[in-house]
Amino acid sequence: MRTQPSPGPIDPRATDSLSACPVCNGSRIDFFLWGKSRYGNTWFRYDRCQGCDAIFVNPRIPEANLTEALEVRQHSYVKYLPIREYDSAEADLNLVRPALKLHRGNPSTLRWLDVGCGIGNLLEAAKGRGCACYGLDADTSLISWAKENISGIEFDTANLNNIPFDPPFDVISADNVLEHIDNPRRFLDSIHNLLAEDGLLVIRVPNYNSLARFLISQFGNLSTSFVMDPDAHPVNYSRFPLHRLLNELGFDPVRTMEHLMFSYGARRIFNHLNPKWASPLQKGSAKALPLLGWADRAIPKGGLNVTVFARERRNGS
Ligand SMILES: [Zn+2]
C-alpha cells in the first residue's frame, strides 16, 4: 500500500493496525489521507475501502484506550443543556415520527431502546408519542444526569450484551453512535438479537458525502476540518457503506434520509451562540420545527448526516 509521508508526528495512541475494512471485511484498501487530531498536534492515517467506500482510521486508537478519553469528556452534556428542548424536537421530527410511521404499530404498545442515549433527548420525544422507553449510555455522567432529571424512562450504563431490560424491543435507535464504534459488525449483531421480529432499527451517522465536506475538500483543508475526527470517529460512513453493512448483518433498509436538513445543521449554530441568545431562539425554533418539516426535507441529498430506517430480514426472505 502506498502511503504519503505524514505532515507531522503520528499519534502514539494509534496502535491498532487493520488489514481489512472494519465495515465489509474487504481486503482491498488504499491510503486515503492524513487527518489531524482534534485535540492535539498529532496525525492519523485514513484508508479507503475499494469494496464499500468506507473511510477509516488505520491504525486506530484501541477501543480499550478510548474509555480513558470518555472519562475526560465526562459532563460534556452541560454545554448541550441550553438546547435540550430543541434537540428533542429535532429528534422527534427526523427520527421518532418517521420511525413510528414506518413501524405502524400503536405507539403506546411499543418498547423503544436508544443505544448511546446521552441525556435522553430522543427518548423524551418517543415518550411524548406514547412509547415505553429505555436508554443505554457508557458515559456515567450522562446517565446519572438523566436518572435524576427525567422521569418515566429507564436508563442504564450497561453494554449491549448485558442489558438490565428484557428484550425484545420494537424500535432500537443509535443516533450518532456507530461512527464511534471500532467493530460495527459486532454492534449490529447484538442489536439484531435484541430487536423484535417486526422491529425497526434507526441509525443516524455523520454523512461523509455531505455538501459541507464537498465544499471543504474544494476550498478548505479537509485534513484539519471537523469532518475528520480521528480521535473519536474510527469510521466515516455515507449511504453506500451503511447500506452494505446493514444488508450483510441481516437488515433491510426501508427508508434513507440524506436531506440537507436545516434543523440538524441549526443545532451547531445554537451551540456556538451565547446561551442568553440561544435559549429563546431554540425554544421558538423547537415550536416551529413541526411546521417547517416539509421545507427541511426539500433538498434530498448533501445533508450533514445520513439516517437509515431498516427492518430485520426474516429468515428465508
Ligand atoms: Zn469495506
Residues whose beta carbons lie less than 5 angstroms from ion ligand 1: 21, 23-24, 26, 49, 51-52, 54
Which of 82, 83, 14, 23 minimizes the C-alpha distance to 56? Answer: 23
First vs last Cα of the chain: how many Å apart?
39
- Distances in Å between the alpha carbon of 63 and those of 26, 136, 137, 154, 158? 21, 18, 16, 27, 16
Least confident of 1-15, 51-65, 265-279: 265-279
86: Cα within 13 Å, side-chain hemisphere: 23
DSSP state of 1: -
Q: Model's pTM, two decimal places? A: 0.94
Q: How confident is the model over 276-312, as pLDDT tens digits?
A: 777 777 788 888 887 878 888 889 999 999 999 999 9
- Distances in Å between the alpha carbon of 34 and those of 223, 249, 253, 261, 302? 6, 30, 32, 29, 23
Least confident of 70-84, 139-153, 201-215, 282-296: 70-84
How close is the Cα of 60 to the center of ligand 1, in Å?
16
Question: Please, what is the average pLDDT of the chain?
Answer: 91
How close is the Cα of 185 to the center of ligand 1, in Å?
12
How close is the Cα of 197 to the center of ligand 1, in Å?
28
CB 169 within 8 A of CB 111: yes
Looking at the predicted structure, is the pLDDT value of residue 317 above 60?
no
Query: Torsions phi, psi of 55, nearest 5?
Result: -115, 125
Q: What is the pLDDT of residue 72?
A: 60
Q: What is the average pLDDT across 156-185? A: 95
Give the residue, 277 or 255, on which the prediction is more confident: 255
Q: What is the pLDDT of residue 297?
A: 87
How close is the Cα of 278 to the center of ligand 1, in Å?
40
How close is the Cα of 86 to the center of ligand 1, in Å?
35
How close is the Cα of 106 to the center of ligand 1, in Å?
38
Q: What is the pLDDT of residue 281?
A: 79
Q: How confident is the model over 98-154, as pLDDT tens digits?
A: 999 999 999 999 999 999 999 999 999 999 999 999 999 998 999 999 999 999 999
Indicate the angle between helix axes 262-272 and 275-296, nearest 10 degrees.
Answer: 170
How close is the Cα of 29 to the center of ligand 1, in Å?
8
The fold of 63-312 is Rossmann fold (3.40.50)
Q: What is the average pLDDT across 7-18? A: 95
Instruction: Enumerate the β-bridge partners of residue 235.
Output: 56
